[in-house]
């Protein structure tokens, strides 16, 4: 089938090259000339495992090509996936400028029988409004569908090729047929529903995931107070299939482009509809407080953080991505800078994107190797659980630090091993405060 993707960000590019890999002929459009020029050279503008290889392969097979010429992309596809950003406005609502703009731009070029698919995450009723917009342009014969995306960054290709479900929102079941045909080879359940339900499924899924994380973080705080271990609590409740063990990892909280933004947008929708979503307000608040708890934990060891040097291991919002949007590392860096500390950062992939987001900060230094980063440091905070952190020579690291303080913000390292190496170690919700001290703190 001929497919076009409008917007070649993380969702658009993954969707495009994966559909090309499945044998469809795909054109990817973006107004960002720099991005298109990169893609045309076979370079993925984002780091996502396997994406660049798949891009080069499908381009070589002439199954995928990129263009900055919108009419070309609109003419090509029988199905057009809208994958443009819906960033957060200051009040938490989703900014629909891009998606509206793109529909207005493509509308004059659309032909009867073409199918426009909303893949961007949008507030409920957006598809309906876009459908009206198309009608204003006289495009009554164009079908509009919603097909929310559940890709996880760092796992996007596998998630696309092996989805656990496919959701298709349509005005009637007949309109959904072309998308069902496109996804025919996927063995997962396919849910065909109306437009509004499909849109709500996306927001509800991400808000529920966020709720699970804040729930476990809330329990982690209690564990810290009473001497219980959150890792065992998570195991003990997660084995109940009604709860499930996923998304019960306590730590510094969730970040990224989706969970924080989608939860806040969902909250605003509920507010507009006068539905009580205060549960989600608390989920957001618990998450926002996580970095402050890390600072308090450091203050149990250092009377003052001013003038001291702290190293963040991991800057991306999660491993296997260079995405730093809403990353905990940004908030932690800012809090440490406010305390008067010197901050160093190391990340296998996200260093440059982090620097851009942080802006000019004289007391922040980016390092390209973890061993130089820790020299004469007063503490390390493990912010992102990149696999390479497990295999570092931690003894060498401990020896080069001024004080061997290690705050494991993801409960990723073995506390026994770190203590035996001479670190003052603290995880999140492990119930024993700082380990390795003669008189461990209990708070």
Residues in touch with ligand UDX (CB under 6 A) = 149-153, 206, 209, 213, 247-249, 251, 253-256, 258-259, 317-318
Separation of alpha carbons 319 and 348, rounded Å: 9
Dmax over CA atoms of the chain, in Å, equals 76
Helix (H) or strand (E) holding 268: helix 259-272
- Residue 187 main-chain phi, psi, to 5 deg: -80, 5
CB nearer ligand UDX, residue 153 or residue 339:
153
Q: What are the phi and psi torsion angles at 128 (to 5°)?
A: -60, -40
258 is catalytic: yes
Q: At what angle do helices 328-338 and 351-358 cross, to 10 degrees?
A: 50
Q: Which of 206, 166, 157 is nearest to 186 (CA)?
A: 166
Q: Measured in whole angstroms, how far is the alpha carbon of residue 432 from the centre of its chain?
A: 31
In whole angstroms, the minimum distance from the beta carbon of 70 to ligand UDX comes to: 26
Provide the 3-class DSSP secondary structure of residue 118.
strand
Sorted by sequence, the CB contacts under 8 Å of residue 324 that are 6+ apart come out as 315, 316, 317, 330, 350, 353, 354, 357
Q: Could you tell me which residues are beta bridge partners of residue 118?
A: 82, 146
Closer by beta carbon to ligand UDX, 249 or else 331:
249
Tell me whether residue 137 or residue 247 sits nearer to ligand UDX (CB atom): 247
| E strand segments, 198-341 | 309-313
**Distance (Å, whole) CA 323 – CA 316:** 5
**CA-CA-CA-CA dihedral for 220, 222, 226, 227, to nearest 10:** 0
The Cβ-side half-sphere exposure at 207, using a 13 Å CA radius, reads 23
Q: What is the number of other CB atoms lying within 10 angstroms of the CB of residue 371?
A: 13
Burial classification of residue 373, based on how many CB atoms lie within 10 Å of its CB (0-12 exposed, 13-18 middle, 19 or more buried) = buried
Nearest to 350 by CA among 377, 330, 374: 330
Catalytic residues: 258
């Amino acid at each position: 089938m001929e497919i076009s993707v409008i917007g070649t960000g993380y969702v658009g590019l993954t969707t495009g090259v994966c559909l090309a890999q499945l044998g469809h002929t795909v054109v990817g459009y973006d107004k960002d000339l720099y991005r298109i020029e990169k893609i045309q050279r076979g370079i993925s503008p984002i780091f996502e495992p396997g994406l660049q290889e798949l891009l080069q392969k499908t381009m070589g097979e002439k199954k995928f090509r990129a263009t900055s010429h919108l009419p070309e992309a609109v003419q090509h596809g029988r199905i057009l996936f809208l994958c443009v950003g819906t960033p957060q406005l200051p009040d938490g609502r989703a900014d629909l400028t891009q998606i509206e703009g793109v529909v207005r731009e493509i509308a004059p070029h659309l032909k009867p029988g073409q199918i426009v698919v909303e893949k961007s995450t949008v507030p409920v009723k957006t598809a309906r409004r876009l459908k009206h917009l198309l009608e204003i342009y006289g495009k009554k014969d164009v079908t509009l569908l919603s097909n929310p995306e559940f890709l996880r960054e760092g796992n996007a290709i596998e998630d696309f090729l092996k989805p656990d479900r496919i959701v298709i929102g349509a005005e009637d079941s007949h309109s959904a047929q072309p998308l069902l045909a496109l996804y025919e080879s996927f063995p997962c359940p396919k849910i065909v529903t109306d437009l509004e339900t499909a849109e709500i499924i996306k927001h509800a899924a991400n808000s529920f995931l966020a709720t699970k994380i804040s729930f476990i973080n809330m329990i982690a705080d209690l564990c810290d107070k009473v001497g219980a271990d959150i890792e065992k609590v998570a195991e003990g409740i997660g084995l109940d299939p009604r709860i499930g063990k996923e998304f019960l990892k306590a730590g510094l909280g969730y970040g990224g482009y989706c969970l924080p933004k989608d939860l806040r947008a969902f909250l605003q929708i509920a507010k507009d509809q006068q539905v009580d979503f205060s549960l989600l307000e608390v989920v957001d608040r618990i998450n926002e407080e996580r970095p402050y708890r890390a600072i308090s934990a450091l203050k149990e060891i250092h009377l003052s953080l001013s003038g001291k040097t702290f190293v963040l291991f991991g800057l991306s919002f999660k491993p296997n991505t260079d995405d730093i949007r809403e990353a905990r590392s940004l908030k932690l860096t800012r809090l440490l800078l406010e305390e008067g500390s010197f901050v160093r950062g190391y990340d296998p992939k996200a260093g440059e994107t982090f620097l851009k987001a942080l802006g000019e900060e004289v007391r922040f230094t980016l390092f390209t190797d973890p061993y130089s980063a820790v020299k004469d440091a007063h503490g390390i905070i493990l912010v992102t659980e990149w696999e390479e952190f497990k295999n570092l020579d931690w003894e060498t690291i401990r020896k080069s630090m001024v004080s061997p303080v290690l705050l494991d913000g993801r409960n990723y390292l073995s506390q026994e091993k770190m203590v035996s190496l001479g670190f003052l170690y603290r995880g999140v919700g492990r119930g024993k405060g700082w380990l390795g001290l003669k008189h461990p703190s209990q708070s």
